[in-house]
Amino acid sequence: MHIVFAASECAPWAKTGGLADVVSALPRTLAKFGHKLSVFIPYYRQVAKAVPNAPIVLESVTIPFPSYNRFVRILDGGIAQGVQTYFVDCPELFDRESFYATPSGDYPDNAERFGLFSRAVIEASKVIGIPDVFHVHDWHAAMVAVLLRSTYYFDPVLRHVPAVLTIHNAGYQGWFPPRTMETLLLPWDMFTFDKLEHYDTVDFLKGGIVYSDAITTVSRKYAEEIQTAEFGNGLERVLRQRSGDLFGILNGVDYDEWNPATDSNIAAHYSADNLAGKKECRRDLLHAFGLEGISDHTAVIGVVSRFATQKGFDFIVEIMDKLVEEDMVLVILGSGEEYYERLLLEMATRYPAKVRVQAKFDNVMAHKIEAGADIFLMPSRYEPGGLNQIYSLKYGTVPVVRATGGLADTIDEQPNGGGNGFKFWGYSSSALMDALRRALGAFQNKSEWTAMMKRGMSQDFSWNAPAKEYERIYERVIQNRS
C-alpha cells in the first residue's frame, strides 16, 4: 500500500506534543511492513531553520481562493527509515514564530492556513503519486477528507481513494466563522448540522468525522469516552452515529528513544534484569533539581507535563499542603498556563526541601525524570492516549494516574499490590491523595515495589501491534471504496 500521512506536526521538525511522535513513529513501523509511506507537514519557520535548503519537488502548486490564488512549493524533506517527508511551503502563511497562535490567541487566518495545507496535500499527491489511502490527523488535516468527498468528488484519480482520520484530542476542533465556507470554496449545502456546521461555526474536525471512511483515536477507552457528553466536546452525537467506523488504537512508543538500557540522556543504564543503574539516575535527578541528602526511603515523585487544568494541576495545587507532610519529594518539569506556573513556583519557594519546579520544556530533563523518579504522577482530567505513563513503565517508575483514556487502558492496579501502578476514579483531589498514599505505602515494601517495577518494565507498548491494527483499517476502507 501507498499511505499518505497529513498532519500539522511531525518529530523531529515540528513538535508541541504527542501528535508529532505518532506521525513520526507510526509511518516508520508501517514502512518496515513493506508499505510505501509519505508524510506531509507545513514548512514552518522552525522547520525551515532545521532544513534550510530543502530541494524543490514541485515549484508551483496553485491553491485557489475566492478572489485570488496562492502558490505553494512542495519541498523534499528526505527519506529516513523508509518514510518520505514532504514540506508544504507557503511563507506568507507558515513563516511565523509559532505553529498555531501568538500569546494573545490563535492566528485569525488558521482556516486559510490549514485549508490550504489540506488542498496542497491532495494536489501534490496527484503529481507525485496517488496513494491507496490518506491518513489525516486532527482538525488541521481533516479538511483533506472533506475536500475528497466534495470539491474532488468527480476527480477520476481520487474518487476511490479513502481517508482515515485520527483524533488525538477532541477538545481541539478548528472552529471558524461561516464565511470560511466561501474562503475555502466549499458548497454552502455542506454548512448544515449533519455535515460541517457546529453551533454556527465551520468545524473542521466534525467535517473530518462526517466525511472520513474510518475514524480512529488513540486509546480504546477514549473511543468510548468521546461518545459521551463529558468528553465529546459537542461531537458525541456525530461520533455515536459513526460508532461502527470508530476504532480506539492505543498509541505505541518509540523504544529506540525511550529505553533505560540505551538512553544517552541519563546518568546510568539499567534494565529489569539489573536495576542498579536506576539508583544512580535517581541521585543524578535529585542533584539536577538541587535536592541533596534525600534518604533512600523517601519517594521521589516526578511530573513532566503541560501546566493546565486538563492535566490535573488544579488537584496537585489543592493537595500540596497535605502531600508535603508525606515522606516524599516532588520534582516538576513543564510549561503552560501562567496561572499554574506562578502557583507552582510559589509552592516551590514555600516548601524548598520538598518541592522543586523547572518551568520550561527540556527533553534531556524529561528523560532524567523518567529514569530517576520512583513515582510518576499523571492526574489528568482527560488523557486521550498518554505517552509518559508508558515511558514510566519502561523506566521502572511506577505511575499514579486518573482512570481516563489511555491511562485507564495501560495502568492496572491490583488490590493485593499486583499490577503495574496506581489509579483513582472520579474527579476529586481527595481521590488523588488516596492513590498517592497507597503508592507511598507500597514504596516502603521494597520487594513488592521491585516486583511492580519489573512488571511494568516487561510490558511491550511498541508500535508493532498498533501498526497492524491500522493496516487492517486501511485494507477495510480501501476494499469498501473499490
Average pLDDT over residues 466-476: 97
Which residue is associated with the grid cell 527540556?
A: 362
Residue limits of CATH 3.40.50.2000 in the chain: 2-252+464-481, 276-458
pLDDT tens-digit map of 126-172: 999 999 999 999 999 999 999 999 999 999 999 999 999 999 999 89
pLDDT tens-digit map of 384-408: 998 899 999 999 999 999 999 999 9
φ, ψ of residue 155 in degrees (nearest 5): -70, 115
Determine contact, residues 8/14, Cβ cutoff 8 Å.
Answer: yes
Residue 306 confidence class, pLDDT cut points 50, 70, 90:
confident
Cα–Cα distance measured from residue 203 to residue 191, given in angstroms and rounded to the nearest whole number: 10
pLDDT at position 104 over 90: no
Residue 361 confidence class, pLDDT cut points 50, 70, 90:
confident
According to the model, what pLDDT value does residue 465 have? 95
Instruction: Write down the CATH superfamily of domain 2-252+464-481.
Output: Glycogen Phosphorylase B; (3.40.50.2000)
According to the model, what pLDDT value does residue 105 have? 85
Q: Which of 294, 433, 309 is nearest to 356 (CA)?
A: 294
pTM of the predicted model as reported, rounded to 2 decimal places: 0.90
**What class is the 276-458 domain?**
alpha beta
pLDDT tens-digit map of 3-31: 999 999 998 899 887 888 899 999 999 99
pLDDT at position 210 over 90: yes
Give the max Cα distance, the chain.
Answer: 71
Cell numbers that stand for 283 in this block: 541521585
According to the model, what pLDDT value does residue 254 have? 86
Q: Is 155 left (phi over 0), alpha (psi -120 to 50) or beta?
A: beta
Average pLDDT over residues 367-391: 95
Which residue is associated with the grid cell 455542506?
A: 190
Residues 6 or more apart whose CB falls under 8 angstroms from that of 438 comprise 413, 422
Average pLDDT over residues 466-482: 96
Residue 479 confidence class, pLDDT cut points 50, 70, 90:
very high
User: How deeply is 283 buried, as exposed, middle or buried, from its count of CB atoms within 10 A (0-12, 13-18, 19+)?
Assistant: middle
Q: Picking from 103-107, 329-333, 354-358, 382-386, which range would have the lowest pLDDT averaged per residue?
A: 103-107
pLDDT at position 193 over 90: yes
Average pLDDT over residues 431-460: 95
Which residue is associated with the grid cell 455515536?
A: 240
Cα–Cα distance measured from residue 286 to residue 299, given in angstroms and rounded to the nearest whole number: 11
Cα–Cα distance measured from residue 348 to residue 346, given in angstroms and rounded to the nearest whole number: 5
Average pLDDT over residues 380-387: 91
Cell numbers that stand for 263 in this block: 538512553
Cα–Cα distance measured from residue 451 to residue 23, given in angstroms and rounded to the nearest whole number: 34
Determine contact, residues 309/341, Cβ cutoff 8 Å.
Answer: no
Average pLDDT over residues 167-181: 95
According to the model, what pLDDT value does residue 101 have? 87
Number of Cβ within a 10 Å radius of residue 101: 12
